[in-house]
Structure 1
Amino acid sequence: MTNAATAAHVRIVTAEGGEGWHAPGLTEFFPEPFLFEGTPFAINRIMLVRFIAAIAAVLIIWLGTRKLRLVPGRGQSMMELVQEFVRRNIAFDSLGERLGRKYTPVLTVIFVSVLFFNLTGVIPFLNIAGTSVVGLPLTLAIIAWIAFMYAGIKELGAKKYFGGQLFPAGVPKPIYVILTPIEFISTFLLRPVTLTVRLLANMMSGHILLVLCFSATHYFFFQASGALAAMGGVTLIAGLAFTLFEIFIGALQAYIFTLLAAVYIQLSVADH
């Protein structure tokens, strides 16, 4: 933890009056920059984790697909398994075969990106999800927003798309005064906001739980004494359990985020 972070933490003071355990706080997500400080390009530990995750994703995909064969090798098989999962279980189920094939590439990119950035939270020496600070979840949500806007305009035309979304057929005209602003907010504003908040909140809370468990384990094992030291075993087991749970949540959130993006595309292309 940085000095700025620990200053804002809840403290447990030892019996001798010394410094004790510091509970994690929101300052965990705002580490000090170590490059280009004071500029729009400032890089802190979380940005570095994002760069590493992005490079790893590109490198793994490149290695798995650089020598495509009719009979796939191990790496190609893994890449095809991921794409097939997105295509069959997300794209085709939500959009049907024609549109599913068309939007599988962008949905696959969203799924792989969210998955890799989520799983950095459980990788040693990285230890924080790239999606646990709002900038990245918002960027991914904007990509999904652009995708469903493009899909609606491409399939229906701009006039029919916006008309169908903002002025649903079969509604008395005076009701549009109330209905149209509600439709505008829910369709064009709340969709990316809810995608952002859902992903952000899950990854933030997961990181806080892991830091809470492992920082408490360190304190109990190396600073506490007597019977209190035995509590380190409990917090260690809890930390390991939450690590496995966080892997599951990271994969689940990637699936949910991509599935909602596909559902929003389907809602955009539906002829209202």
Structure 2
Amino acid sequence: MGTRAPARTPVAMQGGDSRGKGASLPYESVATLEIYHNHNKSVVRLRILKQDSERGQKYSYGTGFISHNSARKLLIMTCAHLFGARGWVKGSPVEVTFHDQKRALAYMKICVEEEEVAILHVSPMDTELQNVRKYPVVEFFYTAVKEGDPLVMLGYPFSKKGEVDLGSFFGSVTNRAALTGKTKDADPSEYFELVLSDYDGAGGSSGAPVFRCHEGKVAGISVCGSKEVMCFVPVRAIHRALRGTKQVRGSQLGTNASIRQMLERIASCESSPSVAGAGAAAGSSGSGTAPSRGVGR
């Protein structure tokens, strides 16, 4: 297992970096502080309305990150299973909390079950957000990660004390990407691409960005795990998911279009805030069904 940074990084919140006091810290601490310092404004907390058969409606939590900001529309990327079989009330808005505690409502734009990728959209015109350009977008690392690559996950793990501080977790890739099913004998149609790693995590961090330390770019989306291993969807799966959406398929974008180009196209396609789950912006299958895999935390 790799060395993990603490769940809370107060030094990073004070703006520490490797050129100052952090220079005497071990690599994993320096890398974690730098990723936090450079990217914490891009990560958001998600509050999702669920329907429980026994307790009625309740809220669950996840993490997302800003992948597009046109000053007229923000796109937030997260994982698809947050809106699946666990009872998301289809069509209900998702409450988004930004790093500065500003809040807004987001609506489903894209949900691609096969790749565990979902996109939410926020219209600044419908919120009290001011100066939305201060919420920076992430960049993506397109090269396949290798075993041993250092990583930092930024997420909002669930806290029984009600804390909502952004956590930063260091780890490394423990195997190369592979197709994995939710069970040992899963049907191939239920397989999705995952990378195994040993960064720490907890409930609420599903959908969090996983950064490759050397470049400070997103290498994938954290989707599931246990005390021993965490998993994330790699960038090539994200690219494949977006390329298969009806918004991109109906455009002039070629197969080599970047994620940023595809997100610009998706953002330009109008959708109603009253959409019923993934149906109004169906993913690669176009079925409009929300994810049913019971993975994640």
- When normalised by structure 2's length, the TM-score is 0.22
Structure holding more strand per residue:
2
Structure (1 or 2) with the larger CA radius of gyration = 1
Q: Which has the higher helix share?
A: 1
